[in-house]
Amino acid sequence: MTLTPMVCALMLLGAVLTCAAHAQPVARSAKAASAASTGVVTDSHRRSPDAPFSFRGVALGITIDEFRAGSAVRATPVGSVPICETDVQAGALGMRLKSRDSLSVACRWAHRDDERWAVSQAVVDGAPALEHVMRFTRIDGQGALRLYEMSFVIDELTAEDLRDALEERYGPPRLATRNAAAPGAMPMYVWENTVSSITLCFLPGSRNGTLTYLLKGSDAWMKAVVRRWQASGADAG
């Protein structure tokens, strides 16, 4: 299972997002009085404008070791653990799976199911997500792999609840395109602080939502590193 890289964040650069998430509707249990208290925007306190956004306590910028060692797993079923391997982008450059020297690493929560590993579902705003991925890279070109992107695909009702919860927590989005009635429209909402952003999109057709947490500057840095790797490979040949 894969997510389109960077999901709706790349819409800001003019890229076209394609995502086919065909999943059965997720049954919902009754939510608590406050959706934010059980949802994606739960934190012990409001983070400062200079602190990266976090997904239920999993903050952008943490190391992959900190992520793996986290005591609380934000996924269902109980007993899920992070499973990490070389990301698709790094794999396309010829990097080996599970290499410690990989350009980027993708992690998903998974669990044992009938003697095999199965992908778990991240819990977003109290409901299981259709897809998810956490991406790590050495943003400064050296040191530990750090979390630079968290992406989720969620159903329409969860996305609508989440939009309201994010607005209640962080205020009006910096960018909001709400032309939902237009053919092929992709309503998009962006919240940001000095170091990170949250982008929520509603996909045409399925009306599923894509939710992306992103460290600012990481996309440009990744592209620069990819170009250097490609140029190095061409020189070696």
Report d(CA 112, CA 73) in Å as an integer: 15
Is 5 a domain residue? no
pLDDT of residue 145: 87
Q: State the pLDDT at residue 20.
A: 31
SS3 call for 84? strand
Give, for all 237 residues of the chain, the pLDDT tens digit: 455 434 453 443 333 233 333 333 333 433 333 343 334 444 434 555 679 999 999 999 999 999 988 877 899 999 899 988 877 665 555 555 565 567 788 899 999 888 888 999 999 999 999 999 999 988 766 678 899 999 999 999 999 999 999 999 999 999 888 765 566 678 999 999 999 999 999 998 888 999 999 999 877 777 776 676 666 654 444
The one-letter amino acid at 81: V
Inside any domain, residue 43? no
Asked whether residue 12 is assigned to any structural domain, the reply reads no
Is residue 123, in this structure, part of any structural domain at all? yes
Q: Residue 230 CB: number of other CB atoms within 10 A?
A: 12
Give a yes or no: residue 172 inside a domain: yes
Tally of domains in the chain: 1
Residue 194 lies in a domain: yes
In a domain, 176, yes or no: yes
Domain-located, residue 105: yes
pTM of the model: 0.74
Q: Domain of 145? A: 49-236
User: What is residue 24's DSSP assignment?
Assistant: P
DSSP output for 35-72:
HHHHSTT--SSPPPTTSPPEETTEETT-BHHHHHH-S-
Contact 188, 11 (CB under 8 A): yes
